[in-house]
Amino acid sequence: MNNVTIDGIKTSVPEGSTILKAAESIGVKIPTLCNHPDQAVKGNCRVCVCEVEGSRLLSAACVMPVWEGMVVKTRTPKVIEARKTILELILSNHPQDCLNCIRNQNCELQTLAEEYFIRDNPFSQKTRGLAKDYSTPAIFRDPDKCINCGRCIEACSVIQNVHALGKVGRGNKVIVAPMLNGSLADSPCVMCGQCIHACPVGAIGEVEEIDKLLAAIADPDKIVVTQIAPAVRVAIGEEVGMETGTMPMDVFVSGLRQLGFDHVLHTNFTADLTILEEGNELLKRLKEGGTLPMTTSCSPGWINFIETYYPDLLDNVSTCKSPQQMFGALAKTYWADKMNIDPAKIYSVSIMPCTAKKFEASRPEMVDSGFRDVDLVLTTREIGRLFRMSGIDFDKLAGADFDSWMGAYTGAAVIFGASGGVMEAALRTVYEVVTGQTLENVNFEVTRGIEGIKEAEVDLNGTVVKVAIANGLANATKLMDEVRAGTSPYHFIEIMACPGGCIGGGGQPITKTNAKRVERINQIYVEDEACEIRKSHENPEVKTLYEEFLHEPLGHQSHHLLHTHYTAKNKKVL
């Protein structure tokens, strides 16, 4: 331990601690910009500089380790002047259009500019004039706003192992750019959107499509139907000033009706359906010697990743469409028929924690209903903006129920939102199908949590099934390298592209730390516990769907509407 004094406060911290960590431990706040609590230290923005007694130069708190007897001052006039100058220099290269920015009021640079009362910047304003990149349907980049912190690069390369982004050039000309200084669409970007959470400013964001929804709602010839993904409810409250997980589902539904949606349904319904299709697919592969291990297919970021980096292993992916796309295909067939609505009039909107879902919905093959199955995908953040714009007071809003036929769900569907949830939901069903016995304790705790790779074994009537769960694509890489090498011991692998699963998806409220992801995960299981039915095969509306329409899992109708095949992306430079 080292004894240090920070702003006159004496404390003792482990050797090797940085000034920043030591200050945090005693409640002294030092401003940061390039620093990210879950990433490696970068030390490139210098806004965290402090005075260290005996040193002529200021020290960057995020990188400077403490020593025995160190005396640090974090608020001297010299420090404040240096920080202000650093901020002014960054701002002199940063477009001054906060009012129009997607991160207005949620921007680390804007917050610091306010905290340090930057008024008249003595440096002349000179932006780089770099072009915006709208090459993908999911994510845009506005490189002029980039402050070169490098956090998006680390999210993309270290956490996701995608390597779409890199630094280009040198010195004051350096920029962050997609691979080979090209467009995002030409890079291996999987559109997971983790770079959006990493970005301290508005240099990366989701492609906003709120206006399309407003136009559809205003169109009297369109019947606007929405589905809500399992991970959205726990986080949507954060967008309207509520604590994580505290937005009641019925109030959320009511809020969506206020926005003008004609029918509010739930992706959870098709999450339950996915379990029946995917569970039976796994059993079929086990019985008939199909390709194993089978991996899940719910996460479109993961699908983009395997199409890009492991196209030789596409046979391992479940043929099930994602719950979003199953919902889309059924809404304009089964549901339209049941509701006696002309499917041509249905405008199908999904509310997703995900940016890659925007791309998934736009895949040319996703038209099995005879129409584009899902017309529009809005992220949790976009719905948050709509709620704020509409001025809905959620404290006073009375709750409302989901609409019929595709709104019922079980706890097994709820947990799709967290890493390990699909696996746990599948095990709840597969266990009962195989053993014919009732599963008394439905909680498979071992599948839960934010840990990167989890594994478990389940005894199904004497057959031991080995499963693994990965969240974050760098972890997926480890499992898929084993599969490629033929050494994978598993039968079934759940992969979610985003750390923590969908609750940490690229479309969720800006998520600054993994601690927030853990909070959302905990809330997912609270919601599961509160569900009366917690096994997918007991969902009454799913049972009705099979009786009236699909007839059996993996049957003819299912094959046509609910299953698909993915193809290699063949990115030219990989």
Q: Indicate whether 313 belongs to the interface with another protein (CB under 8 A).
A: no
Q: Which of 138, 141, 147, 203 is nearest to 505 (CA)?
A: 138
When asked if residue 478 is in the footprint of another protein (CB under 8 A), the reply is no
Distance CA 42, CA 32 (A): 11
> Candidates 165-173, 260-268, 330-338, 419-427 — which segment interacts with another protein by CB under 8 A?
165-173
CB under 8 Å to 46, separation ≥6 — which residues?
A: 60, 82, 86
Residue 165 or 412: which CB sits closer to another protein? Answer: 165
Q: Which stretch binds another protein (CB under 8 A): 105-113, 159-167, 276-284, 559-567?
A: 159-167
Q: Is 194 in the site for another protein (CB under 8 A)?
A: no
Question: Is 166 an interacting residue with respect to another protein (CB under 8 A)?
Answer: yes
- Count the alpha carbons within 13 Å of 151 in the hemisphere toward its beta carbon: 28
When asked if residue 178 is in the footprint of another protein (CB under 8 A), the reply is yes
Measured CA to CA in angstroms, residue 74 lies from 41, 46, 70, 77, 117 at distances of 19, 13, 13, 9, 17
Q: How far is the CB of 186 from another protein (least distance, A)?
A: 10
Q: 281, 307, 382, 519: which is the annotated catalytic residue? A: 281
State in angstroms the smallest separation of the CB of 184 from another protein: 12
Is 354 in contact with 505 (CB distance < 8 Å)? yes
Nearest to 351 by CA among 234, 232, 265: 232
CB of 173 to another protein, least distance (A): 9
Does residue 179 belong to the site contacting another protein (CB under 8 A)?
A: yes
Among 141-149, 174-182, 360-368, 369-377, which window interacts with another protein (CB under 8 A)? 174-182
Q: Which of 63, 168, 217, 453 binds another protein (CB under 8 A)?
A: 168
Q: Per rule CB under 8 A, is residue 170 in the interface with another protein?
A: yes
Cα gap 267→314, rounded to integer Å: 25
Binding mask 350-389 for another protein (x = CB under 8 A): ----------------------------------------
CA gap 321, 565 in Å, rounded? 9
Tell me which of 51, 108, 206, 278 is the catalytic residue: 278
Smallest gap from Cβ 485 to another protein, in A, equals: 16
Q: Is 160 in the site for another protein (CB under 8 A)?
A: no
Told to check if 452 binds another protein by CB under 8 A, we report no
Residue 318 annotated to the active site = yes
- 284 interacts with another protein by CB under 8 A: no
Decide: residue 191, CB within 10 A, 0-12 exposed, 13-18 middle, 19+ buried.
Answer: buried
Candidates 45, 107, 192, 502; catalytic one: 502
Catalytic residue among 365, 445, 457, 529: 365
Strand partners, 456: 467
Is residue 573 involved in binding another protein (CB under 8 A)? yes
- CB 169 → another protein: shortest distance, Å? 5
Does the annotation mark 502 as catalytic?
Answer: yes
Burial letters for 43-55: b for 16+ Cβ neighbours within 10 Å, e otherwise?
Answer: ebbbbbbbbbeee
Q: Point out which span in 41-49, 102-110, 133-141, 156-164 binds another protein (CB under 8 A).
A: 156-164
Please, are residues 442 and 428 in contact by the beta-carbon 8 Å criterion?
yes
Closest separation between CB of residue 215 and another protein, Å? Answer: 38
In DSSP notation, 116-157 reads TT--S-SSPP----PPPB--SSSEEE-GGG-----HHHHIII
Cβ at position 572, least distance to another protein in Å: 8
Rounded-to-integer distance, Cα 348 and Cα 384, Å:
19
Annotation marks residue 149 as catalytic: no
Rounded to the nearest 10 degrees, the angle between the axes of helix 232-239 and helix 380-390 is: 40
Closest distance of CB 107 from another protein, Å: 25
Does residue 311 touch another protein according to CB under 8 A? no
Q: Is residue 172 a contact residue for another protein (CB under 8 A)?
A: no
Does position 303 bind another protein by CB under 8 A? no
Starting at the edge strand that comes first in sequence, how are the strands of the sheet with 294-295 ordered? 294-295, 492-496, 463-471, 453-460
Q: Which is nearer to another protein, 119 or 170 (CB)?
A: 170
- DSSP-H helix ranges across 407-456: 411-414, 421-435
Tokens of 431: 């266990």
- Choices 46-54, 177-185, 225-233, 278-286 (CB under 8 A): range interacting with another protein: 177-185
Nearer Cβ to another protein (178/505): 178
249: three-class secondary structure by DSSP: helix
Q: Is 40 in the site for another protein (CB under 8 A)?
A: no
Taking the least distance from each CB to another protein, the nearer of 176 and 479 is: 176
Helices (H) and strands (E) in the chain, counts: 20, 17
Our CA dihedral for 469, 191, 232, 234, rounded to 10 degrees, sits at 60
> What's the CA gap between 550 and 268, in Å, rounded?
18
Residue 446 to residue 431: CA distance in whole angstroms? 16
C-alpha distance from residue 378 to each of 289, 473, 486 (Å): 40, 23, 39
The reply on whether position 11 binds another protein by CB under 8 A is no
Q: Which stretch binds another protein (CB under 8 A): 123-131, 167-175, 271-279, 446-454?
A: 167-175
Q: Which of 25, 92, 135, 157 binds another protein (CB under 8 A)?
A: 157
Instruction: Out of 6, 146, 165, 503, point to the residue binding another protein (CB under 8 A).
Output: 165
Catalytic residue set? 278, 281, 298, 318, 357, 360, 365, 502
Binding region for another protein (CB under 8 A): 157, 163-170, 178-181, 187, 572-574
